Structure 1
């Protein structure tokens, strides 16, 4: 387990909710921010606030250095070949939409196939639904196994010579399933398709190497990995990005503008129209520094141990159902569950009365809720600042909820 000293880096955790010390178990929705990230944002606005790239004055140069320095930190973090392959965006949703609009519209035709899974977050379903409708393409789903995992045999059965895009999440935000992305990418490439990876739940918790995965696109958000909201990253292979048209037009992304024709800047700036998310990028860079100081391997190990401990303790509660793989080694650091016939919102309300924050609802995964044959679930998700004591508080809170509703 990671040192409990890490909790001291997160000032928000030092408070009481409804008279109880806060237990925050909702990091899959958004993580808390360490003081190092908060200070980096504060320092930018206090000392360096200026627009980037355009000016020659000192503040502009400092802001540009910090902004582009953050891009290099991201490049190393995911092991991209070049900063040209690292594009700052608002988040995972914007990144996937950019691929659907910028790549999909150019390369998808009538009858072509787009392959995804029923476990996807809405942000990795709806863009492909819209593209398929627009182009007359076929949206196909890889059937899930009973435990919520993916079988490579079923991936092979679903991907065909007509498949042009395969887009799958690395880690499920509901089931915790860790998908075999490297192997799926190989299958996609064998059929001439590009591989898009929703890495929103993976980048905060696992060591990412896009070159080893060989994926064509990888999208993730800063706010789930100790960074600010409103900043994310789209990684794309340079040759593919060069061939794509931008989807947002305006200042900063242009090279030359005439009355009737314009040309675009080189990568990565041709996809970053307007004033970029300067403070967000700087904050994300600080978050990467923080996570790498702890070590992604240590983070992954810590969360696996916590998830295993939570599943063991929660399984002792009669009537409680846990969804997803039973083996903690095959799942990320979250546990999604239902407590008998009690609605998840009611469970979450009782837990909140005891200072425990969990998520309840469909988790932006309505097709998966239908597959699970439930309307909603509750979810406890763990991160670097959580401890076994937090899990014990959760289990105690669930027992209180069970007794209350019975």
Structure 2
């Protein structure tokens, strides 16, 4: 498991909590304990204020107008692209494609690069840890192109089987490796650098689902040498309905568009259409303007707190939660990888996870129960579902204690 950290940086979690209005909510007469951050994180006042201000003072459609509001909105919208570029350390703003979220980013790569480059006998390599959004698009494209979907197994601790990965990537047929940076169901941090290097050595491109990594660690796409890296705003304290796909510029330039409409064209006639260069080529239609600007505000907020400090705080919570949860009779932690982000999945023998979640909800504690859009992974562990507590920058050890107390009540009530 993880190594405990004896000292943590100064981290004023109460000051941070004061920035999140929803944390003052009472649920069924109890203080809200929000442990569903892997599904979607809460939003600080700084992000909410930006959203409101844009709608109240500077909203207009972007890229098309010469009037004041359009120019102001366009400036803020494109400034957000630069904020994201800097956060990911991409080489150019042209490598930052705005999407509706990680799912759309992965689908974009599958339906453009995948359809254009895969042929019968080629292989797409994923792992048993993947979210459905990093399984289903590749299944569809494999069916359309004759490629095969190959799955790297995981160990009993929820880690990628590295020996199996090495054998499969070295087979000479893998053209796309598509893997999560962090497992949404177990919190496993994959050895991404090693896997990307191996993929490139085998002649494959590396497509990364970064939805669960962005809020919890520093992401440098150039240091990783990722070919594509997809993220979602709502996992990282920003609004829903907005995301980003990073792609290396030569790849984006070579890919066909996947949607047609306004803003992604240079010229249109009934005889022929020519497309704008990336990223516009992949951004058809009126975008989520306020989503982009608010996501930039969320990244600014995360930067002000310090992503390294957030990572250390969440690591402490994860280690502490593992220690405390082991006190619960019949509770089994599912996934004890050596490197984990702030996710703890667990099951209690004889009690369905939905019952766990329902009883905890009566105590104001929000956890996620179900298969977490990872049905193959649940099947690997012989479980229909788990309960999952996932941490954000505003969670505390006292809240972990409340979870443990709540689970004791679950066991007592359910017998």
The 5 A counterparts of 1:311-390 are: 311-325=322-336, 327=338, 330-390=339-399
| Aligned residue number for residue 182 of structure 2 | 171
In 1: Cα distance, 2:316 partner to 2:184 partner: 18
In 2: Cα distance, 1:317 partner to 1:188 partner: 42
In 1: Cα distance, 2:295 partner to 2:271 partner: 38
In 1: Cα distance, 2:353 partner to 2:73 partner: 45
RMSD of aligned residue pairs (Cα, Å): 0.8
| Aligned residue number for residue 225 of structure 1 | 236
| Aligned residue number for residue 10 of structure 1 | 20
Which of 403, 406, 410 is 1:401 aligned to? Answer: 410
In 1: Cα distance, 2:302 partner to 2:86 partner: 13
Which of 16, 28, 36 is 1:26 aligned to? Answer: 36
In 2: Cα distance, 1:143 partner to 1:314 partner: 27
Q: How much has 1:334 moved relative to structure 2?
A: 1.1
Moved beyond 3 Å, runs of 4+ = none
Contact 1:174 1:336 (C-alpha < 8 Å) held by counterparts: yes
Deviation per CA, 1:278-322: give whole Å up to 9, x if none: 010001000000000011111111111000000100101110000
Which of 105, 108, 111 is 1:101 aligned to? Answer: 111
In 1: Cα distance, 2:155 partner to 2:15 partner: 40
Equivalenced residue count is 404
Q: How much has 1:153 moved relative to structure 2?
A: 2.7
Which of 210, 216, 219 is 1:208 aligned to? Answer: 219
Give the secondary structure class of the aligned counterpart of 2:150.
strand
Which of 261, 274, 286 is 1:263 aligned to? Answer: 274
| Aligned residue number for residue 198 of structure 2 | 187
| Aligned residue number for residue 4 of structure 2 | none
Matched, 1:92 2:97: no
Which of 300, 304, 307 is 2:318 aligned to? Answer: 307
In 1: Cα distance, 2:238 partner to 2:133 partner: 20
| Aligned residue number for residue 113 of structure 1 | 123
Q: How much has 1:326 moved relative to structure 2?
A: 5.2
| Aligned residue number for residue 50 of structure 1 | 60
| Aligned residue number for residue 135 of structure 1 | 145
Give the secondary structure class of the aligned counterpart of 2:140.
helix
Deviation per CA, 1:340-391: give whole Å up to 9, x if none: 2100000000000000000000000000000010001000000001000110
Contact 1:216 1:237 (C-alpha < 8 Å) held by counterparts: yes
Contact 2:181 2:213 (C-alpha < 8 Å) held by counterparts: yes
Matched, 1:76 2:91: no
Q: What is the TM-score of this pair, normalised by structure 2? A: 0.96
Q: Give ranges in structure 1 of 5+ residues lacking alignment.
A: none
In 2: Cα distance, 1:153 partner to 1:375 partner: 28
| Aligned residue number for residue 283 of structure 2 | 272
| Aligned residue number for residue 308 of structure 2 | 297
Q: What is the TM-score of this pair, normalised by structure 1? A: 0.98
| Aligned residue number for residue 146 of structure 1 | 156
Deviation per CA, 1:143-188: give whole Å up to 9, x if none: 1122111143321101121110000000001111000111101111
